[in-house]
């Protein structure tokens, strides 16, 4: 008889809770200086995070990353110790030593640290998404079952779609920020500009005309000024 796999399928289901962090305020601790940590180290320092890596040995490519004067990357050539974790917000585990991994997980859980296990994402608390940044839009993509190549493929597709909205989002963001001062009109303005209809007129170069049709001259001059 065929085995009922429904229970296993539900056990493998992963739910993500997304949050966008302000990179310049985040301290990342990486345990392991090999190839397994290279891509994620590059990801975090390119975003402007402060990154410390502890390892007895370092991949040559990781060492090269320290030569960039703008890089917030520090390499610590030592055996792992729990003191390393204390002043970090997020810990990336990129080693194979099971005993050390269990020690890190125990410390992180007892001290409310977020940890990522690069060898098995389900054994950690999170994953690093594929992230892309346009001028006015930032987005990340994960796949439910863990498919990094698939996430890269999707991110390229989504990037092309969002390029068509990037300039419009910048324009409406400026208006929204100014509208917050106009308490009596704020909600109406924000709802008005956050639509496909308004984007249509923006693309036609008629956004100013439409705004003048619905709002007073004084309000429009302030919003566009």
pTM listed for this prediction: 0.85
Using the predicted structure, report yes or no on whether residue 71 has a pLDDT greater than 60: yes
Distance of alpha carbon 192 from the chain centroid: 29
Question: What rounded mean pLDDT belongs to the chain?
Answer: 93
Say if CB 190 and CB 184 are below 8 A apart.
Answer: no
DSSP annotation string for 162-181 = HHHHHHHHHHHHHHHHHHTT
Domain limits of the chain? Answer: 20-128, 151-224
Residue 156 dihedral angles phi and psi, to the nearest 5°: -65, -40
Distance of alpha carbon 137 from the chain centroid: 12
CA distances from 144 to 5, 15, 16, 171 (A): 18, 7, 8, 33
Question: For residue range 109-166, what is the model confidence (pLDDT) as tens digits?
Answer: 999 999 999 988 999 999 999 999 999 999 999 999 889 999 999 999 999 999 999 9
Distance, in Å, from the CA atom of 180 to the CA atom of 190, rounded to the nearest integer, reads 9
CATH number of 20-128: 3.40.50.720
Residue 218 dihedral angles phi and psi, to the nearest 5°: -65, -40
> Which pLDDT band holds residue 13 (cuts at 50, 70, 90)?
confident
Question: For residue range 201-217, what is the model confidence (pLDDT) as tens digits?
Answer: 999 999 999 999 999 99
């Amino acid at each position: 008889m065929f085995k009922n796999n429904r229970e296993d399928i539900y056990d493998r289901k992963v739910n993500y809770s997304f949050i966008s962090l302000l990179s310049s305020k985040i301290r990342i601790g990486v345990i392991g200086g090999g190839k397994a940590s290279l891509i994620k180290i590059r990801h975090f320092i390119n975003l402007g995070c402060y990154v410390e890596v502890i390892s007895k040995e370092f991949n040559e490519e990781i060492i090269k990353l320290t030569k960039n004067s703008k890089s917030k990357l520090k390499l610590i050539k030592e055996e792992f110790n729990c003191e390393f974790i204390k002043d970090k917000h997020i810990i990336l585990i990129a080693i194979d030593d099971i005993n050390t991994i269990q020690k890190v997980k125990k410390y992180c859980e007892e001290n409310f640290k977020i940890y990522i296990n690069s060898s098995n994402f389900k054994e950690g608390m999170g994953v690093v998404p594929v992230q892309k940044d346009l001028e006015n839009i930032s987005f990340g993509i994960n796949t439910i079952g863990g498919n990094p190549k698939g996430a890269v493929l999707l991110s390229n597709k989504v990037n092309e779609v969002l390029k068509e909205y990037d300039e419009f989002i910048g324009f409406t963001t400026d208006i929204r920020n100014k509208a917050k001062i106009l308490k009596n009109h704020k909600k109406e303005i924000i709802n008005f500009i956050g639509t496909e209809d308004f984007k249509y007129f923006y693309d036609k170069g008629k956004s100013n005309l439409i705004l003048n049709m619905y709002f007073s001259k004084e309000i429009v001059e302030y919003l566009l000024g």
